[in-house]
Amino acid sequence: MATQPDLLMPAPRVAMVNDPRIRGAVYQVLLLALVVWLGVEAYLNAQANLQAQRIATGFDFLENTAGFGVNQSLIAYRESDTYGRVFIVGLLNTLLVAVLGIAIATVLGFAIGIARLSSNWLVARLAGAYVEIIRNQPLLFQILFWYLAVLGAMPAPRQSIAIGVQPLLQGMADGLAALQRFGLPGAPADLCRALADWAGPPQVFLNNRGLVMPELTVGPGGSLIAATALAGLIAFVVLRIWAKRRQAATGKPFPLLWSGLGLIVGLPLVIFVALGAPVTLTPPVLRGFNFASGVRVIPEFVALLIALSTYTAAFIAEIVRAGIQAVPRGQTEAAYSLGLPRRRVLRFVVLPQAMRLIVPPLTSQYLNLTKNSSLAVGIGYPDLFAVFAGTALNQTGQAIEILAMTMAVYLLLSLITSALMNWYNARMAIPGG
């Protein structure tokens, strides 16, 4: 370190104490030691204090029986399961609303952002009004609005709104029958009625307990169908790589959309029909207060999902608009002068360049949506924060452990989202740029 032969001038001799690099290293080590010491001290102090007050500590409670019910669970859950399982149930509920919310918010946000730049006056103004109204209201208020206003408008289970073909056909039959008085032949009404009878009673119901649908049970052969779908997906990915290469080399496009649909949806459908449609639908049956069987989407989930996705979409729309407007006008004009139609200009010239500006702030919106999902506690949606940092915390009283776990989950979710988006952003960057 003292002498470096490739330098023309000999390095100035300095005492170790004055060498800026050594000094810097020493300071960093000292700072690190201080941080570690603070952490250890805080931990030991917490331990000692909790013990002195005889407050239970440790993670053993995760093995204990939770004993309380949760009204939405993606995995099997009963009251006799453990707090550890409650944690997973809450985590999955949070993930469900976050992933679906991000997907809907992205689609909606892009659509509105592009619509705001539309040359159609009405479309542009409507999109503008959406953004200004939605993003300027508190989110909790919007969640409560969707929950209480929409819930209040729904009927009780016994007066459920039936959704299906049969009520529609029945209504048409009644209408046509009424028209017979004015000389309409009876045949169309009879046909509608016959069709309605054939369709059977409706199996989807909407009421203030949520949306009730028939339960789908896949019989033997289900795994075969799933395997076909997976194989179709892999085949499509390979096909897509080949098609892109061919297009790059020869300029010939390949109908990717249709071949993709055929591989991923069509093929499993053929197998499904060949196996004789091995599914059974268990229709919801009204028993006592509520529908007893069937699958139910709870209103808390719907309200939270709508509120989170529409709210975040307003911000995404602005990000998309800013991104598109930042693409130099010359690019669009050049594309038009090549004779590209408007849609293609947007898809192949403007959006790819805009994405580089859109992705980083978009990541922040995704993170916000995930964290905002903890507002679910206001309307009783059983997310991680409500069931684990709520009920479980209260029953066990282990605030430090539970809050630490909850914080770790939100941190981890955010870091994973960030990492994915950064990877995507790197892919979108100008190669070598």
* 222 C-beta neighbours (distance < 10 Å), count: 14
Q: Does 425 bind another protein (CB under 8 A)?
A: no
CA dihedral sign, ordered 152, 156, 159, 165:
positive
For residue 27, give Cα distances in angstroms to 35, 266, 336: 12, 65, 59
Q: How far is the CB of 94 from another protein (least distance, A)?
A: 13
Q: Does 258 bind another protein (CB under 8 A)?
A: no
Name the residue type at position 147: Y
- Residue 387 neighbours by CB under 8 Å, 6+ apart: 70, 86, 89, 90, 93
- The span of 126-134, 333-341, 348-356, 383-391 binding another protein (CB under 8 A) equals 383-391
Binders of another protein in range 97-156 (CB under 8 A): 148, 151-152, 156
| Residue 156 CB-density burial (10 A; 0-12 exposed, 13-18 middle, 19+ buried) | exposed
User: Which one of residues 59, 68, 198, 258 is an interface residue with another protein (CB under 8 A)?
Assistant: 68
Q: How far is the CB of 105 from another protein (least distance, A)?
A: 19
Q: Does 394 bind another protein (CB under 8 A)?
A: yes
Q: Does 276 bind another protein (CB under 8 A)?
A: no
Q: How far is the CB of 396 from another protein (least distance, A)?
A: 7
Residue 103 exposure: Cα atoms within 13 Å on the Cβ side: 6
Which of 432, 420, 431 minimizes the C-alpha distance to 359?
420
Terminal CA-CA length for the chain = 36
- Residue 289 neighbours by CB under 8 Å, 6+ apart: 157
Q: How many angstroms separate the CA atoms of 358 and 376, rounded?
A: 28
Q: Does 13 bind another protein (CB under 8 A)?
A: no
Q: Please count the residues of this chain forming the interface with another protein, following the rule CB under 8 A.
A: 53
Q: How far is the CB of 248 from another protein (least distance, A)?
A: 48
Q: How far is the CB of 92 from another protein (least distance, A)?
A: 17
- The span of 172-180, 211-219, 240-248, 367-375 binding another protein (CB under 8 A) equals 367-375
Q: C-alpha dihedral over 377, 380, 381, 386, to 10 degrees?
A: 40
Binders of another protein in range 294-313 (CB under 8 A): 298-300
When the beta carbons of 3 and 80 are compared against another protein, the nearer one is 80
Q: How far is the CB of 308 from another protein (least distance, A)?
A: 14
Which of 151, 138, 75 minimizes the C-alpha distance to 375?
138
When the beta carbons of 112 and 392 are compared against another protein, the nearer one is 392
Residue-wise DSSP of 10-36: PPPP--GGG-HHHHHHHHHHHHHHHHH
Q: How far is the CB of 318 from another protein (least distance, A)?
A: 23
Q: How far is the CB of 317 from another protein (least distance, A)?
A: 24
Q: Does 374 bind another protein (CB under 8 A)?
A: yes
DSSP 3-state assignment of 53? coil
From residue 14 to residue 53, what is the string marking binding to another protein with x (rule CB under 8 A)? ----------------------------x--xx--xx-xx
Name the residue type at position 46: A
Cα 121 to the chain's mean position, in Å?
A: 32
Q: How far is the CB of 131 from another protein (least distance, A)?
A: 24
User: Which one of residues 84, 128, 283, 378 is an interface residue with another protein (CB under 8 A)?
Assistant: 378
Strand partners, 282: 215
DSSP 3-state assignment of 190? helix
When the beta carbons of 156 and 241 are compared against another protein, the nearer one is 156
- Residue 242 neighbours by CB under 8 Å, 6+ apart: none
Q: Does 389 bind another protein (CB under 8 A)?
A: yes
Q: Residues in the site for another protein, rule: CB under 8 A?
A: 42, 45-46, 49-50, 52-56, 67-71, 79-80, 148, 151-152, 156, 208-209, 287-290, 292, 298-300, 371, 374-375, 377-380, 382, 385-387, 389-391, 393-397, 399-400, 403
